[in-house]
Structure 1
Amino acid sequence: MELIGAIIAPFLPPLLDGIARKVRAMIQNRVGPSIFQTWYDIITLLSMDSILPTSSLAFRLAPYLALASALCMALMLPYGSDAIINFGGDLIAFIYVFTLFSAALVFGALSVDNSYSHAGANRELTLSLVFKPLFAITIGIFALKTGSLSITEIAHSVSPSISIIGAYLLLLYVTYVESGFIPYDIAEAETEILEGPLTEYSGRLLGLLKWALQIKRFAMIWLFASFVALPVAEGAIAFVLQLLVFLLTYLLMVTYESLNARYRLDQATKQGVKGIVIGVILMIIAWLGW
């Protein structure tokens, strides 16, 4: 199963985005592009040279750092019974590379002199200051209840309780937000700030960033699917159940996205703060043993 995971983690996400684009088109009564269109776009971009608006090393390294972070996130997750990268405390490492992804976007965007790029970086940073702690609190509830800092061990040993049920709902929410679906795609906001942090990127570097964003989305939803599926199954059956939960969650998120408009930054942060308050309450409930 780990070998299958190593294959699907980098190569399945763009195909899923193509399917998502087709679903959105159907909901909006359009024909839509081919399900392979996202792959076509990425391959085309990767074959092109990038136009560099600055000599900053941060600008050039950010896409590679973002892609490496996204891949690490995906490879730390269990596929069936075990993860490809599995070690004690890998939950801490997951949170680290998860945060590093956003940091790469921010540093890359701030390294170029462009107001749209800076606006996107500021939005990404603001959202990160709210939703990264929310993710840490949510995942901390699972760690507290299972007594482990291993993603695989947590996924296999979660048992129902009041705090865990609440943590599942919070994890689903923060997964949606961090997957960059509308109404939370505020940092990019193509119609407002021309893709924000990606504005000045082109060619190969833009292709790497778009690929990295798709892999990050895959990793977040697969994490949620793992926590749902692995407590009740093992081995090949667990992998199949993970995949089914993942696809169902992905399609539901795409459908919900198609029915919403983008939030303002202040609206999103208010929602995030409410989530943090709920998360802290659930953490206290978990600490009390419930």
Structure 2
Amino acid sequence: MAPFLGTFVSGIDRRVRARMQRRVGPPLLQPFYDMFKLLDKRPMMVHGLHVSLGAMHFIALWVSIGIIMFGGHLLYAIFMHLLSSLFLVLAGYSVRSPFSHLGANRELLAIAAYEPVLILMAVGFYLHTGSFEVGVILSSPSALWGMPLMFLALLIILPIKLKKSPFDAPEAHQEVVGGVEVEFSGTFYEVIYMAKMTEIVFVYSLVFLFGGAFLWLGALLVIAAFLLVSGVDNASARIRIDHLVRTVYISAFVLAVLAIGGMRYV
């Protein structure tokens, strides 16, 4: 159900964005209509490897969601997520489109920026609970009070994962026409579209973990993070990819390291 849940959240996001911009906006179920519309379009395949890498991107991301939902090992989920992102980058490099190559280059730089923060976050959960298991994390006291700096670091990288301003340079439609997605079409783009919806669930599930045993707190954190990302997306302009990397390392990475250092000496 993760892709469909992500699609529903995407619909809410589009409604919120429209209200912030004083527009009526699309129907709440518009992302579902888009999904069915893609299935009706004639697929055009560049070559088999390109399509296969796109499918592997979705499957690996789906597996990472499954690991979290079934209370598995958080590091395994993060590594599967990294593998999923690399499949998409390889798909971008496998075609000749300069837009696809440029998007793949930017996506790699974005991965280099946010991935260390995700790994440090997993280490922080281990120091806080004594385990990498998601089930243990959700039965432990809230990590929000134990490592608030780590939560701030996660908030900083959320727009990168969700392709929101000011960190949407890897996908920038005005510059690289969608980046690595540009050569996918029809049913094949449907797979990428569902992967984007699944990504939403993956990102906000990490936010939910900070609630620990207090499930209501996790839900409130997800809602607050969702509104914050939507607000920043509508109130800021895109920054260059080098600024993105510099900003993440100066702010999110430093906060994550300080959080780990503080927990070691508590």
Q: Aligned pair count?
A: 265
Query: Does 2:238 align with 1:247?
Result: no
Could you tell me how far apart the structure 1 residues matched to 2:143 and 2:3 are?
32
Match among 150, 153, 157 for residue 140 of structure 2:
157
**CA drift at 1:182:** 1.3
- Superimposed CA distance per residue, residues 190-238 of structure 1 (whole angstroms, 9 cap, x where no aligned partner): 111100001111001111101111211221112212322x332xxxxx3
Please state whether the residue corresponding to 2:28 is helix, strand or coil: coil
Does structure 2 retain, via aligned residues, the 8 Å contact 1:175–1:220? yes
Match among 201, 204, 209 for residue 226 of structure 1:
209
User: 1:40 maps to what in 2?
Assistant: 33
Does structure 2 retain, via aligned residues, the 8 Å contact 1:108–1:197? yes
Could you tell me how far apart the structure 2 residues matched to 1:160 and 1:244 are?
14
TM-score by length of 2: 0.91
Does structure 2 retain, via aligned residues, the 8 Å contact 1:50–1:205? yes
Runs of 4+ in 1 over 3 A off after TM superposition: 158-163, 240-245
Match of 2:14, as an amino acid? R
Please state whether the residue corresponding to 2:148 is helix, strand or coil: helix
User: 2:53 maps to what in 1?
Assistant: 62
Match of 1:127, as an amino acid? A
Closer, same or farther: CA 18–118 of 1 in aligned 2, 3 Å: same
Query: Does 2:202 align with 1:202?
Result: no
Match of 1:283, as an amino acid? I
Q: CA RMSD in A?
A: 2.0
User: 1:280 maps to what in 2?
Assistant: 257
Could you tell me how far apart the structure 1 residues matched to 2:91 and 2:117 are?
24
Percent sequence identity over aligned pairs: 27
Match among 7, 13, 22 for residue 20 of structure 1:
13
Could you tell me how far apart the structure 2 residues matched to 1:44 and 1:253 are?
28
Query: Does 2:238 align with 1:256?
Result: no
- Superimposed CA distance per residue, residues 158-206 of structure 1 (whole angstroms, 9 cap, x where no aligned partner): 4568761211211222233322221111111011110000111100111
Could you tell me how far apart the structure 2 residues matched to 1:150 and 1:71 are?
18
**CA drift at 1:250:** 1.6
Could you tell me how far apart the structure 2 residues matched to 1:244 and 1:75 are?
22
Could you tell me how far apart the structure 2 residues matched to 1:67 and 1:168 are?
27
TM-score by length of 1: 0.84
**CA drift at 1:18:** 1.5
Match of 1:143, as an amino acid? Y
Could you tell me how far apart the structure 2 residues matched to 1:134 and 1:23 are?
28
- Superimposed CA distance per residue, residues 218-261 of structure 1 (whole angstroms, 9 cap, x where no aligned partner): 21112212322x332xxxxx3x6544442342233212211111
Could you tell me how far apart the structure 2 residues matched to 1:141 and 1:47 are?
46
Match of 1:280, as an amino acid? V
Which deviates the most, 184-193 or 251-260?
251-260
User: 1:4 maps to what in 2?
Assistant: none
User: 2:3 maps to what in 1?
Assistant: 10
Please state whether the residue corresponding to 1:157 is helix, strand or coil: coil
Match of 1:216, as an amino acid? E
Match of 1:231, as an amino acid? A
Please state whether the residue corresponding to 1:31 is helix, strand or coil: coil
Does structure 2 retain, via aligned residues, the 8 Å contact 1:56–1:111? no
Could you tell me how far apart the structure 1 residues matched to 2:196 and 2:186 are?
16
Structure 1: state its 5+ residue gaps. 1-6, 78-82, 233-237
Match of 2:177, as an amino acid? L
Could you tell me how far apart the structure 2 residues matched to 1:226 and 1:144 are?
14
User: 2:149 maps to what in 1?
Assistant: 166
